[in-house]
């Protein structure tokens, strides 16, 4: 602060407190509603004193949305996406920054163009690919005449089929296939001093050893930032999991929110719906609160 402006400061505090209220009110309402019984939650206006039914509502939501299984799946899914993202990004960025070979800049652009089109806008054809991931290769073989040749020579029909619907790879892989992390890692590698690579080469280490023993340990903070942001991002995915997992065994928590919407008939049980919402939204919130520094840093550097 550079000057003394007591009145203006008071106004600022007032606005900030109002902002705090706006930010926290929905959390408060969800928590309070989750503690009421079905009658109390439907009183207008809803009593702001918490009730005593939190555990009963948690239990009801847990059973109705099968949250034990679903939260576990969400956890696996988000961890796998974050891990895959970190691993593939560091590898791809390493190839782009530390190697000279023909077609390098083509690879660079092929990866970076994916930033332009998010999954949501190409959702229908991506779903078709997930139904059979080998379909692209089948079409290529058919078009180039390889299938025809094989059919004539050996009498075997080439039918490549590998469906990813209702499986963990089907959930995870399409979300890993974007350039966000690659860009972050490229920026990081460009700041690594040249002398490190020089010294490693002089000591006789090859590229794999340099990557594993020098770059990976150096990139620890980049890794944590990317992992945090990707974990939260994938935990919150909705449209893709909704399409790919029709089998309840592979469903994730966020798509289960659909089953928690109170029915139109009878007294709506908002208390159970809010208890379920609370359970589903808490894990990423805890991560953001605990890892705030990394989260903010990862967010700012992946988007720019």
Q: Which of residues 179-218 bind another protein (CB under 8 A)?
A: 179, 182, 189-190, 194, 197-198, 201, 206-208, 210-211
What residues have CB less than 8 Å from 190, skipping those under 6 apart? 97
Tell the smallest beta-carbon distance from residue 72 to another protein (Å): 17
Size of the site for another protein (CB under 8 A): 112
Tell the smallest beta-carbon distance from residue 87 to another protein (Å): 8
DSSP assignments along 139-208, one per residue: HHHHHHTHHHHHHHHH-PPP------TTSHHHHHHHHH-SSHHHHHHHHHHHHS-HHHHHHHHHTT--HH
Name the segment binding another protein (CB under 8 A); options: 62-70, 99-107, 150-158, 214-222: 99-107
Tell the smallest beta-carbon distance from residue 76 to another protein (Å): 17
| Pairwise CA distance, residues 263 & 41, whole Å | 15
Which phi and psi angles does 286 have, rounded to 5°?
A: -60, -40
Name the segment binding another protein (CB under 8 A); options: 61-69, 143-151, 219-227, 239-247: 239-247
Name the segment binding another protein (CB under 8 A); options: 63-71, 143-151, 213-221, 230-238: 230-238
Q: Are 197 and 252 in contact (CB under 8 A)?
A: no
Q: Which residues, 244 to 303, sit near another protein by CB under 8 A?
A: 254-255, 257-258, 260-261, 268, 270, 273-274, 277, 280-281, 284-285, 287-289, 292, 295-296, 299-300, 303
Residue 149 has a CB neighbour count (10 Å cut-off) of 12
Tokens coding 208: 């794999």
Among 6, 7, 15, 157, binds another protein (CB under 8 A): 15
Dihedral angle computed from the Cα positions of residues 214, 218, 219 and 225, in that order, rounded to the nearest 10 degrees = 160
Residues 126-165 as x/- pattern, contact with another protein by CB under 8 A: xxxxx--x-xx-----------------------------
């Amino acid at each position: 602060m550079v000057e003394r402006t007591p009145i203006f400061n008071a106004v600022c505090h007032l606005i900030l407190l109002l902002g705090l209220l706006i930010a926290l009110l929905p959390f408060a309402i969800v928590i309070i509603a989750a503690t009421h019984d079905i009658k109390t939650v439907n009183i207008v206006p809803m009593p702001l004193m918490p009730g005593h039914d939190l555990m009963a509502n948690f239990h009801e939501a847990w059973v109705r949305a099968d949250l034990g299984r679903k939260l576990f799946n969400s956890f696996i899914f988000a961890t796998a996406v974050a891990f895959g993202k970190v691993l593939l990004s560091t590898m791809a960025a390493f190839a782009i920054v530390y190697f000279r070979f023909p077609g390098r800049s083509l690879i660079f652009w092929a990866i970076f163009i994916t930033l332009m089109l998010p999954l949501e806008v190409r959702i229908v054809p991506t779903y078709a690919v997930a139904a059979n991931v080998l379909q692209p290769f089948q079409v290529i073989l058919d078009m180039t005449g390889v299938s025809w040749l094989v059919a004539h020579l050996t009498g075997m029909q080439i039918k490549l089929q590998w469906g990813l619907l209702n499986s963990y790879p089907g959930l995870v892989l399409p979300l890993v296939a974007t350039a966000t992390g690659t860009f972050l890692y490229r920026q990081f590698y460009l700041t690594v001093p040249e002398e490190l690579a020089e010294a490693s080469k002089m000591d006789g280490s090859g590229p794999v050893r340099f990557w594993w023993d020098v770059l990976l340990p150096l990139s620890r903070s980049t890794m944590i930032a990317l992992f945090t942001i990707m974990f939260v991002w994938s935990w919150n995915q909705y449209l893709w999991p909704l399409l790919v997992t029709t089998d309840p065994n592979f469903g994730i928590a966020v798509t289960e929110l659909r089953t928690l919407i109170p029915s139109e008939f009878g007294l709506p049980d908002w208390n159970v719906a809010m208890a379920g919402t609370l359970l589903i939204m808490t894990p990423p919130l805890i991560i953001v609160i605990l890892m705030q520094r990394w989260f903010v840093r990862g967010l700012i550097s992946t988007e720019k």
